Amino acid sequence: MKNDEILLLYEFRTGDNFETENIIYTLKDLYIGKNCRLKEVYSKGTLYVDENSEVRAIASDSDMFLGKNVFIKRWIDSMKSIFVSAKCNLGVVASAGENIVLSQGVKFERLFAKRIMTYNIAKEKEKDSYIIGTIKSDEDIEIKGNIEIVGNLISEGKIKLHDNVAVKGNVFSQVDIELNNGIRIGIENKIKSVVANGKVILGEDVIVYGFISSKEGETK
């Protein structure tokens, strides 16, 4: 077959170390083995990518599961949820109709889903105090404690949030954003944004309802 020809399959399972320049299209589930090198992949069923594989672009009408150290060169999209194992690289943009669930050491640039979640999600605690209104600063912002901010958080410097802080609005930084343990951004079923001109770092037990954009993002 020539390069860029479409392989139309009802169901497909590659072996390990499989390589092709053809576009793969499956009508049911698709399983990609270890150490594979693929160009563009689309599945109408559930899609599994085993560890150390590399795909240029990948999409599914169902759930997607990425093994450890999978590298997406450009984009990944699921109409349901994407479950991401440790040390994956999600390329330029990852989007899902429901959830994106991230393990440790995952790299990304832009993420979009109803819920973007990191590992070890815990039940949200009732807040001890509330701040009503948007917070703006020309300098760095660092907030700790079991606090809810009912508004946006905007800084010309870095933003660091710790210890169960919740922000019901958008979070914008001209530099970096770091969201540590227990952070919640946005409201379920309402799209909110976390946007940094530099890095976005996500710790464990973080939920963002909507959109994350950065030049360089990673879960720690």
Q: How confident is the model at residue 209, as a pLDDT? A: 98
Which amino acid makes up residue 12? F
Q: What is the pLDDT of residues 122-165, one digit of tens each?
A: 988 899 999 999 999 999 999 999 999 999 999 999 999 999 99
Copy the structure tokens of residue 7: 């392989």
Copy the structure tokens of residue 5: 């020809």
Is beta strand 30-32 parallel, antiparallel or unpaired with respect to 141-143?
Answer: unpaired
Q: What is the pLDDT of residues 34-81, one digit of tens each?
A: 999 999 999 999 999 999 999 999 999 999 999 999 999 999 999 999
Q: What is the pLDDT of residues 90-132, one digit of tens each?
A: 999 999 999 999 999 999 999 999 999 999 999 888 999 999 9
Q: Which residues contact 94 (CB under 8 A, 6 or more apart)?
A: 72, 75, 76, 77, 82, 100, 108, 110, 111, 112
Could you give the CA distance from residue 37 to residue 73 in angstroms, rounded to a whole number? 11
**DSSP codes, 150-219:** ES-EEESS-EEE-TT-EESS-EEESS-EEE-TT-EESBTTB-EEEEESSEEEE-SS-EEEEEEEEEEEEE
